[in-house]
């Protein structure tokens, strides 16, 4: 966006808590809605105008959030009571400085935002500082380093930029012939201009889950495990049903509690874990996001408090209490391909008839599509998770989207 910054500021009829939302996509939109419901004045910020959260917030700002000077200037103008990072592509170093210099309240903390946006920082914290089980790995800053050290993890393995999200820049390396292409992809698609990667050995796991963990004024709370299907590191479907076997559930909660306590602050954390019930190490830590998780959109239909409501309650210092689970549920991402800003959604009636009364369609309101983009989510609750997953897939197939 260059150095231009647009900020719409209006006087509020009464003094209220002001929250600055850094990242205004579909997850940010739900956070903004929950904030507004509790009387918070929301300034929604993103790199482009008319982002989803801007459509429900009282004010908006368009800046390059990776530009520390622009971010510092925006915070000085807004004077927020709380800053809520909702994406990784933020100048977190600036947030850390402002937290130290001015006591800026960042959710969960500026340090947590800084550590978790960088795979090197969070993996080092988890594996080396906290001693949590992880996959074998190493970091490399050049193609030559990757080639020289790859025997540490063996083939096949995965290479990822140290800074990226939603599978961007990720490749599976099956032989030495794949290394150079994977290195180039990681460097090209990673964020922050960093030519550094993490190379991870393959873990033989049976399932991958997200354990939504809430750190709040009244303690640590866990949602039921969320299972998910990913394609190239990007979520396509997720589902939530029964708890794990007691021993496995306890180990997942132990790992999650350990890492979120180390990061500190209040809010929801999406802790990603590999389940290996037949191995000696039954649960392996993968990654963590200090904010609502895309796989957690299923909680909009599975629980009395969605992950967004839980995040807002926690960050405002409010009690969580009991989280009530309604029943087996699933979500499916509505991925749309095309090039244009005129988007038309059809057959919603047919889609909603598939899941019946316990189904929903959420269209995010993103203003344009260039390539492939997640534009909505399908939600369904059913008698079991298999039925719920089948329903959301059928709902997705029923919806017709045109882009021009």
Q: Which residues are catalytic?
A: 165, 167, 272, 287, 294-295, 374
Cis bond upstream, residue 127 (ω within 30): no
Cα–Cα distance, 42 to 16 (Å, whole number): 10
- State residue 155 phi and psi, 5-degree precision: -105, 145
Tell me how crowded residue 344 is: count the other CB atoms within 10 A of its CB: 9
Compute the distance between CA of residue 404 and CA of residue 394 in angstroms, rounded to an integer. Answer: 25
11, 16, 8: which is closest to 41 by C-alpha?
A: 16
List strand residue ranges (DSSP E) for 109-201, in order. 137-140, 157-161, 171-173, 197-201
Report d(CA 386, CA 30) in Å as an integer.
26
Q: How far apart are the first and last CA of the chain?
A: 24
Cβ-based neighbour number of residue 308 at 10 Å: 24
Residues 6+ apart with CB under 8 A from 192: 66, 163
DSSP states of 299-349:
HHHHBSS-HHHHHHHHHTT----PPPB-S-EEEEEEEEEEEES-EEEE-HH
**Other residues' Cβ atoms within 10 Å of the Cβ of residue 303:** 22
């Amino acid at each position: 966006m260059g150095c231009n910054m647009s900020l719409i500021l209006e006087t509020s009829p009464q003094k209220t808590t002001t929250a600055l939302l850094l990242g205004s996509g579909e997850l940010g939109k739900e956070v903004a809605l929950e904030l507004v419901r509790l009387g918070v004045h929301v300034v929604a910020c993103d790199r482009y105008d008319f982002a989803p959260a801007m459509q429900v917030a009282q004010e908006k700002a368009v800046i390059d959030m990776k530009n520390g000077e622009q971010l510092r200037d925006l915070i000085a103008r807004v004077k927020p009571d709380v800053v809520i990072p909702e994406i990784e592509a933020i100048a977190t170093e600036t947030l850390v400085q402002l937290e130290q210099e001015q006591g800026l309240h960042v959710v969960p903390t500026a340090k947590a935002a800084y550590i978790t946006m960088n795979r090197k920082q969070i993996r080092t914290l988890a594996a080396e500082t906290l001693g949590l089980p992880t996959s074998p790995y190493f970091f490399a800053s050049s193609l030559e380093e990757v080639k020289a050290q790859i025997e540490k993890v063996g083939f096949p393995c995965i290479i990822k930029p140290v800074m990226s999200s939603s599978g961007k820049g990720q490749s599976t390396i099956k032989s030495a012939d794949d290394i150079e292409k994977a290195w180039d992809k990681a460097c090209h698609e990673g964020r922050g201009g960093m030519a550094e990667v993490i190379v991870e050995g393959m873990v033989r796991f049976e399932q991958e889950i997200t354990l939504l963990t809430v750190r709040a004024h009244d303690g640590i709370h866990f949602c039921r495990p969320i299972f998910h299907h990913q394609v190239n590191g990007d979520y396509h479907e997720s589902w939530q049903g029964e708890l794990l076997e007691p021993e496995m559930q306890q180990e997942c909660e132990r790992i999650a509690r350990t890492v979120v306590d180390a990061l500190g602050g209040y809010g929801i954390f999406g802790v990603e874990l590999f389940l290996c019930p037949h191995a000696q190490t039954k649960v392996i830590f993968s990654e963590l996001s200090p904010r609502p998780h895309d796989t957690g959109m299923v909680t909009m239909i599975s629980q009395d408090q969605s992950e967004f409501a839980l995040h807002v309650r926690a960050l405002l210092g409010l009690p969580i209490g009991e989280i009530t689970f309604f029943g087996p549920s699933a979500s499916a991402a509505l991925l749309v391909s095309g090039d244009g800003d005129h988007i038309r959604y059809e057959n919603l009636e047919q889609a909603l008839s598939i899941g019946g009364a316990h189904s929903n369609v959420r269209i995010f309101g993103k203003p344009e599509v260039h390539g492939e983009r997640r534009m909505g989510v399908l939600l369904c609750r059913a008698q079991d998770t298999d039925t719920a997953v089948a329903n959301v897939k059928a709902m997705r197939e029923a919806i017709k989207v045109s882009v021009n």
